[in-house]
Amino acid sequence: MRFLFVPWLINSFRYQGKETEINWREKMVEFELGGRSFDTKDLSEKQRQIMKSLFFTNELAKETDQKLKILNFMKQNLEKAWVSDFQSKIIDTYVQKGDIQLKLENGKKLLVSSLNERAEICYKQLLTVNEQISSYSNKLQILDTAKITYSKIIFESLEVTE
């Protein structure tokens, strides 16, 4: 069996033109990197651990990306609800005279304390979703950095030259 190893996507080996998932519990696999063949059974424990970490990090990044897609979908729906009520998106939020004021795209300014219950709930949900989007975006950046780092470490540990 021959697998094409893509270091930054450890779980997307290609075998006979078909993407193949790796189950680390099943068996060891052969892969190619930089024109050289390797077998995971010949790797050191540290190298195998790095590859497992890379695989896990990639799976976590996929999951985080899916959550981001869901949150962005929720944000779009909340913004549609807001725009249907106020005919404009929120572009800025700030505190003035002890109250939160919203600045809309159309130039209008609204006090949060003067919003009806539905609008206030929508505004608070938008804030929450935006915070979650920011948090998951940060996590995704960290995971991408980890994938690059793990890939570089395994690549260098195998001393592959291009």
Are 22 and 10 within 8 A, CB to CB?
A: yes
pTM: 0.71
Q: Provide the CA 94 distance to its chain's centre, in angstroms.
A: 29
**How many Cα atoms occupy the beta-carbon half-sphere of 5 within 13 Å?**
23
What is the per-residue pLDDT for 34? 67
Angle, helices 117-157 vs 45-86, to 10°: value is: 160
**pLDDT at site 107:** 92
What residue spans define the domains of the chain?
A: 13-157
User: Per-block average pLDDT, block size 10, for the chain (162 residues)?
Assistant: 37 42 53 72 84 88 95 95 91 89 93 92 94 97 93 80 44
The architecture (CATH level 2) of 13-157 comes to Orthogonal Bundle (1.10)
Q: What is the pLDDT of residue 140?
A: 96
Question: What is the reported pLDDT for 5?
Answer: 38
DSSP string, 33-88: ETTEEEEGGGS-HHHHHHHHHHHHHHHHHHHHHHHHHHHHHHHHHHHHHHHHHHSS
How far is C-alpha 20 from the chain's CA centre? Answer: 22
Which pLDDT value is given to residue 27? 52
Helices (runs of H) and strands (runs of E) counted in the chain = 2, 7
Contact 22, 51 (CB under 8 A): no
Supply the pLDDT for residue 160: 55
What single-letter DSSP state applies at residue 107? Answer: S
